[in-house]
Amino acid sequence: MERGCLLSKFENKEILSRVLESIKTKINGFNYNNWFQHASFSFTNETNVEVIVPNKFVRDWISDNYLELLKFEFFKACHNEITLSFKIQAPSQTQVAAEEKQVQKTQPKTKQRKENPAQASLFSPQVQARQALQGLNERYSFKDFVVGSSNQFVSAACQAVAQNPGKNYNPLFIYGGVGLGKTHLLNAIGLEALRKNPHTRLVYVSGEEFTNEVINSIRYDKTYQLRRKYRDNCDLLLIDDVQFIAGKERTMEEFFHTFNALYESRKQIIMTSDSLPKDIQNLAERLRSRFSWGLLADIQKPDFETRCAILQKKSEQENIQLRSEVCNYIAEHVQTNVRDLEGCLVRISAFASLASLPITIQLASEVLKDYLQGFHSNLSIDKIQKAVATYYNLKVPDLKSKRRHRNLALPRQIAMYLCKKHVKASYPNIGQEFGGKDHTTVIHAYQKISKVIDSDDSIQNDISKIESKLSML
Ligand code: ADP
Ligand code: MG
C-alpha cells in the first residue's frame, strides 16, 4: 500500500523539521529568519500542509517567493505532491505593526513576478524550485531577449558561458548604461545553467545585497556562513551591479577573497556594472585588475531595427495590437533605453484601452508628448533644414529655392511640416526661412504631409528617420 505522508505525529514532525533544515541551507540566514522564523507548519491531511503565519505580509511574501521551494522540499521529504494552504493567526495589534514594519524594511528591491497560473511554466519543478530559491525571474530568459547588433556580442558571450561555465570567459564582465538588458542577461545565464543542470549551485545577488550580507555577517558574527555560501557552495556566481561595492572596504575585501576562491577552483563569475572596471570610482586596484582578467563585453543602446523588434515582441507578449507604422514611430522617438521603450508601450496601450481607442500614430504622439518635449525644445528651423537636406542628399539652398521638381518639392514640404511640428514658429515665419515663401505654401505643405503620413509608409519612414536624427542633436 502506498504510504502517504502522514504516518504519525512523530513522523510529521520529522518531515517538517527536515524540510525547514533543508530550506535553511538554501536561503540566506537573514531571509530565513525574516520569513520562516515566525511561520509554523502543520499537516491538515496527508497531502496538505497549513502554513500558519502572523500576518498577510509574511503570507504574501512566502507565497510569492518560496512557494515552489516549499513544494519542492515537501515533495523530496514525502515523495508525494503536497499542497500548501495559508492561515493567518492574528497576533496582538502591536506585534502586527512591528512585524509589518520589519517586513517592509527588509523587502528586497528586485522585481518579483507574480505567478500567472494560466501560464504553464517552461521549467521543471526542480528548476522552478531552484529559481524561486535564487530569486531568478523566469521572464528574463534568452528566449525573451531580442538580439541585434547592439547586443550581439554580449549575448553570444552570455550564451557561451551558460553552456560551459568556468571554461572560456572567466570572469565575464558585462557593462553598459541603465535599462539596456544587463540584469536580463544575467538572469538568462542563471536560468539556462539551471535548465542544463538543475543541480548547479548558483548564487544570484546584487552588489547591494552582497554588501548587506557582509554587513550582517559581521554584525551577527556569521562570516563563516557567508564564506561557505559564496566560496564553498557556489559553482556560478552572478553578481548584478557590482559597482555598488566600490568604496566599501570590508565588502571589497570579502569579494576579493570570494573572487580568488572561485576563480582558482574554476567556478564561473559573471558581473554586471554600469561602467568599465577602469571607470568605477573607488574600486580597489586589485579588484579592478581582476575584473578585467576575463572578457569585458559592453551592451549598447539598441538601434532602430532592434527597438522595433523589441516592441513587436513585447506587444505580442502583452497582447497589444501594434501596427507597424506605430511601432516605427515609437522606435524612432524613444531611443534612450529598452526600459523606456517598454514604459512608453505600456503607457500607450493603457491609454488606448482606457479610452477605447485603437493605437494610432496620433494617439502615440499624444501620449508621448511629455516624453518627447525634451527633444522638441532643442530644435530650430535651421537644424531641421540641414537634417532634411542631408537625408535627401540635397543642399539647404535647394530647399529654399523656388524650383518645383518633385525631388525638391517633397523634401521641402517635409521640412516645412517638421518645422511646424517641432518648432514654435508661425507659418509666415517658416515661409520666411524658406526663401521668403508665402505662408499659404507652408500651410499647404503641413496639411498635405499630415494627411499622407498615415497612408504612405515610405514617407512615414523617411520622416521617422529624420526625426530620429533630430532627436540626437
Ligand atoms: P539593466 O539591468 O541594464 O538596467 P534590465 O536588464 O533591467 O536593464 O532591462 C530593462 C528592461 O528591458 C527589462 O524589462 C528587460 O527585459 C528589457 N530588455 C532589455 N534589453 C532587452 C532585449 N534585448 N530584448 C528584450 N527585452 C529587453
Ligand atoms: Mg540592472
Instruction: Tell me the CA–centroid distance for residue 339 and ligand 1, in Å.
Output: 6
Pocket probe for ligand 1: among 151, 339, 340, 342, the residue whose CB has the most ligand atoms within 8 Å is: 339
Cβ neighbours of residue 460 closer than 8 Å, sequence gap 6 or more? 325, 328, 329, 361, 453, 454
Instruction: Tell me the CA–centroid distance for residue 183 and ligand 2, in Å.
Output: 4
Measured from the Cα of 181, ligand 1's closest atom is 6
Write the residue with the smallest CA distance to atom 21 of ligand 1: 181
User: Do you know the residue count of the chain?
Assistant: 473
Cα torsion angle, 199, 205, 209, 215, sign: positive
Residue with cell 520562516: 36
Write the residue with the smallest CA distance to atom 1 of ligand 1: 179
Is the Cβ atom of 420 under 6 angstroms away from ligand 1? Answer: no
- Give the ligand whose atoms come closest to the C-alpha of residue 299: 1
Spell out which residues have Cβ within 5 A of ligand 2, the ion. Answer: 182-183
Write the residue with the smallest CA distance to atom 5 of ligand 1: 181
Grid cell locating 184: 536580463
> Could you report the per-residue pLDDT of 392-406, keeping only the tens digit for each?
999 999 999 988 888
Grid cell locating 290: 581582476
Residue with cell 527588509: 106
Alpha helices in 277-395 (DSSP H): 285-291, 304-317, 324-333, 338-354, 361-367, 369-377, 381-391
**Buried b or exposed e, range 200-227, using 16+ CB within 10 angstroms:** bbbbbbbbbbbbbbbebbeeeebeebbb
- Give the ligand whose atoms come closest to the C-alpha of residue 342: 1
Cα torsion angle, 246, 250, 254, 256, sign: positive
> Could you report the per-residue pLDDT of 117-126, keeping only the tens digit for each?
333 455 666 6
- Give the ligand whose atoms come closest to the C-alpha of residue 178: 1
Measured from the Cα of 309, ligand 1's closest atom is 24
Residue with cell 557593462: 175
Instruction: Tell me the CA–centroid distance for residue 391 and ligand 2, in Å.
Output: 36
**Buried b or exposed e, range 260-292, using 16+ CB within 10 angstroms:** eebbeeebbbbbbbbeebeebeebbeebeebbe
Which residues of the chain are under the pLDDT cut of 50? 1-6, 92-120
Residue with cell 499630415: 450
Pocket probe for ligand 1: among 111, 141, 153, 184, the residue whose CB has the most ligand atoms within 8 Å is: 184
Write the residue with the smallest CA distance to atom 18 of ligand 1: 181
- Give the ligand whose atoms come closest to the C-alpha of residue 144: 1
Q: Do the beta carbons of residue 300 and residue 151 sit within 8 Å?
A: yes
Cis peptide before 171 (omega within 30 of 0): yes
For the chain, give the percent of residues with pLDDT over 70.
Answer: 84
Residue 123: its pLDDT value, please? 62
Q: Do the beta carbons of residue 57 and residue 44 sit within 8 Å?
A: no
Measured from the Cα of 338, ligand 1's closest atom is 12
Which CA distances in Å does 218 have to 211, 222, 229, 250? 11, 6, 15, 9
Instruction: Tell me the CA–centroid distance for residue 241 and ligand 1, in Å.
Output: 14
Grid cell locating 195: 535548465
Is the Cβ atom of 184 under 6 angstroms away from ligand 1? Answer: yes
Residue 425: its pLDDT value, please? 83
Between CA 334 and CA 370 the distance in angstroms is 12
φ, ψ of residue 187 in degrees (nearest 5): -60, -45
Residue 165: its pLDDT value, please? 93
Between CA 352 and CA 328 the distance in angstroms is 17
